[in-house]
Structure 1
Amino acid sequence: MDANKSLDRQLPHVPGFLFFIPVSTLITLVYGTTALESTYENSDLKKPEWPSWKSLDKWFLSSDAQPPVRPSSIASINSMIEDNAALDLPADADALWQSEHEWKGLLHAQLLRDPRSNAYWRTWIELDRKFGCELLPACITTGEKVRTVVFSRLTRELGCLGSVSRMSAYDWRNKEPGLLDSPLFEHNRIADMFAVVIRFCAWVVAEISVRDWAAVIDAGLSNEILLKNLVPQFNEQSGHWSRPIAEQLRGLAQDSGFSSNGRASAFLGEVLAGRYLDISDKQRTLRRWEEAHPGKPRDSVLETLLEAVQPLLDQHGGLWSSASAHNRKFKFAWLNAVLLREMMQKDLPCWHIQEVFDTYADEFRKARALLGKPLS
């Protein structure tokens, strides 16, 4: 196949998104500017004939991007685009909708393994593309576009629980030039976008619980919404949010045999220090993870900590007796901490942020029911 023809057939690449924030944007938001390159270059899905990350950035991603012109460069792009097994895109697609492309790549990475789970999320991803590439471009006015989004299945079933009633109460035909800048519209769009991320995470956890059903039953957790303690909750009395990283640190300590009301950082810092004489230094490091706004736990420290507590997890961990499980729990906690920070910075009111995080329990129940293990 002629390389130029193949490249022309697949373009244009349509940037942007509606409900599914591009995975590349989410990774950068959560893990920083260099994380995306590392994720791509180290992915098991990346094939030798695909272009390097630096080439992709030069050709498509940077502000001064220039499409490739050399035949070998175009061939490397075509090799990547035409791998339908990786992209899971329609063979006759006339454009690449960015969020569909990236979220289907996420599904291919097997975060979800059950065919029912993948079918469920593919349906929503493809509907998001239909809205972005077909339905909204067909709308004539801004008000019509807004109403199309507000009353969509995507808003009703993937957004926050109160989005439809809240948005439908407003007459979107008025003041059309300022519609997209109104706090009501902006806050609801941000909330619904992050709600999709939370719902997907809930589905991942629910599917894991079904795969490990015997262990879940043995732990007496078959009717519990797993990892709910890592989802931020607002305390009306104190006026503060719960701390996901601190909650996970305490959970790790408890699964390692810690039963005191003291600080988890003190117990785990002593375990982390081991035979060395730097206990206070290790405790101080972990104490920073208990703060209201902690930085991301360093991978090297977390890896060393989990290695140190593994013998204790073997004794006391129960359902969470593996270091790898706790590593994933730390990642989930950090994701929640970042989403909380982002919504606070964008001035969403606390009740609205809480509504976003409340979708976790809602989607967990839905996933368990659709996977044949409903909560009673």
Structure 2
Amino acid sequence: MSAKSSTYEDSVTLSQEEISAYLAAFGEKKVCLREAVLLIPVEKVYALLDINVRSLWEAIKEVHRGLPTSKTALKYLSESASDVSTKRQHRFIRAVPIPRQSTELSIAQMEKGFTVPTVTNWLGLLELSRLDPVVLDYWKPKLFALSDLSLLPNKRARFAAYTSSEVVAQLGCPASRQSILNLFHDLSEEGLVQSRALTQMMSADGLATLLRLAAWFMADSQVGNWEFELEEGTQNVIHAVWVIPTWCASSQSWSNPMQTALEKLASLAGLTKKRPGPVTHLGKLWAAQDGVEPESRIRLLRNWLQLKGGRPSFQKLLDLIKVSYDVHMQQRGGLQHDTKANYWHGACVFRLAETMSLLIRDLTRSGWPTELVISLMGVYETEYRMARRLLGKPLEN
């Protein structure tokens, strides 16, 4: 690990002495477990993005050599971790990075007799993601507010606090606000629990919060790669906005981000004509790189486009991105020194496009009101513009 990396880790994670103090004070404290409002658990987001936690842990372990094996980590991070002895749990805690501010929030929760792991996990993820400090400054108070909101055990009291909460209004889906308030006044507590419309609107709030988080990650990435953005002339482009499905009133249908993803990759890889289409162009290019028959790659890409045959593995996405990006960079005069990072980032954006295609398909099939989904999808651009402004690089259009 480099000196710079070590300094960063030291600033955001607890020392062994601090871990000892934490465990001595709270290591065996019994508290009530609370479900977070508004926030989707990190592990469910991993599932939504088809992220294999074991593979993710192994990738992190390549950078942080002292971490426990993925088998050990999954055992301690699973729901059955409570069956493991306290001594062994403490040993595991000492072996992994413990985010400092996430621990502060955890302590604040336990002093009130409860814990909301989803909130502390999100704060810890932001701390460990090497983001601009502005990102954490923006999200930390909101996560603390959501922690307090999650404390309320009574359903009606929680609904009342939810409908009047400033942080919910800031992070949720705009179209949900007045509709949830109307339902709250019209329905009994039992009616609220059983209301399909309320479930949809609160789910829209959670997805909106997730899209806002994604907007901050994307804006931070763009600002952090500013010289490249200037070279590409993309500094005023809302990064990855094309992965967000858009509604066409004339055709009464949603756009397919997977179609857009393949079109963009094909253009990047030199396609300038309508024929052959992006699937055929990319399939032939990819097959030539791998030394296989073009038909197999073309068929695979067509299945991806149609959301058939299972989800593409991250490695397959990475392979396709690499082929397309290399063609682009060679046309511009050669590969850059940080090309590997760009491959990985491109594959992540492609995965997001595939996930959003699946999401819009499932929301449509489930009968979500179009107006609610339009409002939900609109939060990405709004949040992105604010993030860029707060990061000191406002969009000029």
Say whether residues 1:199 and 2:212 are aligned partners: yes
**Counterpart of 1:115?**
133
**Counterpart of 1:27?**
46
User: Higher mean Cα deviation, 241-250 or 75-84?
Assistant: 75-84
For 1:26-65, list aligned pairs within 5 A. Answer: 26-31=45-50, 35-40=52-57, 42-44=59-61, 48=67, 52-56=72-76, 61-62=79-80
CA contact under 8 A between 1:150 and 1:168: conserved in structure 2?
A: yes
Say whether residues 1:103 and 2:122 are aligned partners: yes
1:217-253 CA distances to partner (integer Å, 9 max, x unpaired)?
Answer: 4433333322211111122222332122221121111
Residue of structure 1 aligned with 2:196, choices 169, 183, 206: 183
Given residue 99 of structure 1, which amino acid in structure 2 is its aligned partner? T
Residue of structure 1 aligned with 2:255, choices 242, 247, 258: 242
Change (3 A) 1:240 1:129: same
Given residue 359 of structure 2, which amino acid in structure 1 is its aligned partner? L
Change (3 A) 1:7 1:341: farther
Unaligned runs of 5+ in 2: 1-19
Give 1:363 deviation, angstroms: 0.4
Give the secondary structure class of the aligned counterpart of 1:314.
helix
CA contact under 8 A between 1:23 and 1:103: conserved in structure 2?
A: yes
**Counterpart of 2:350?**
330
Given residue 134 of structure 2, which amino acid in structure 1 is its aligned partner? R
**Counterpart of 2:294?**
279
1:82-139 CA distances to partner (integer Å, 9 max, x unpaired)?
Answer: 93438443473314311122112211331x5110111111121111111112xx23xx
Change (3 A) 1:80 1:239: farther
Give the secondary structure class of the aligned counterpart of 2:271.
coil
Alpha-carbon RMSD = 3.2
Q: Output the TM-score relative to the length of structure 2.
A: 0.80
Select the structure that is richer in helix: 2
**Counterpart of 1:126?**
144
**Counterpart of 1:92?**
107
**Counterpart of 2:394?**
374
Structure 2: distance between partners of 1:98 and 1:306: 35
Given residue 336 of structure 1, which amino acid in structure 2 is its aligned partner? M
Give 1:292 deviation, angstroms: 5.4
Change (3 A) 1:148 1:249: same
Given residue 125 of structure 1, which amino acid in structure 2 is its aligned partner? L
Structure 2: distance between partners of 1:55 and 1:195: 31
Change (3 A) 1:69 1:289: closer
CA contact under 8 A between 2:105 and 2:144: conserved in structure 1?
A: no
Give the secondary structure class of the aligned counterpart of 2:282.
helix
CA contact under 8 A between 1:155 and 1:163: conserved in structure 2?
A: no
**Counterpart of 1:290?**
305
Change (3 A) 1:277 1:212: closer
Unaligned runs of 5+ in 1: none
Give 1:347 deviation, angstroms: 3.1
Residue of structure 1 aligned with 2:165, choices 144, 152, 166: 152
How many residues get paired?
362
Residue of structure 2 aligned with 1:226, choices 239, 247, 259: 239
CA contact under 8 A between 2:314 and 2:347: conserved in structure 1?
A: no
Q: Output the TM-score relative to the length of structure 1.
A: 0.84
User: Higher mean Cα deviation, 216-225 or 113-122?
Assistant: 216-225
Change (3 A) 1:233 1:325: same
**Counterpart of 2:278?**
264
Change (3 A) 1:171 1:297: closer
